[in-house]
């Protein structure tokens, strides 16, 4: 259980980090491809919070 939580935490973290970076790119270049960059930024923040939550869930 602990190992899967660590893997899930890392997956959530990288998912959030990529979305946050994507939000910055869309903000800078002004190319809102599908949705607004704010949406990606919020998803990224949520992903990182989820990563922190899953990492500390069973310690």
Segment 12-36 mean pLDDT = 70
**Per the confidence metrics, is the pTM higher than 0.85?**
no
Rounded to 10°, the helix 37-55/2-29 angle is 160
Which pLDDT score, from 0 to 100, does residue 6 have? 77
- pLDDT confidence bin for 35, thresholds 50/70/90: low
Which pLDDT score, from 0 to 100, does residue 53 have? 77
Which pLDDT score, from 0 to 100, does residue 46 have? 81
Which pLDDT score, from 0 to 100, does residue 20 have? 77
Longest Cα–Cα distance of the chain, Å, equals 42
């Amino acid at each position: 259980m602990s190992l899967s939580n660590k893997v899930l935490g890392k997956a959530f973290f990288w998912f959030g980090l990529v979305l946050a970076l994507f939000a910055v790119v869309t903000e800078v270049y002004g190319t809102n491809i599908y949705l607004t960059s704010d949406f990606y930024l919020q998803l990224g923040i949520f992903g990182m919070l989820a990563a922190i939550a899953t990492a500390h869930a069973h310690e």
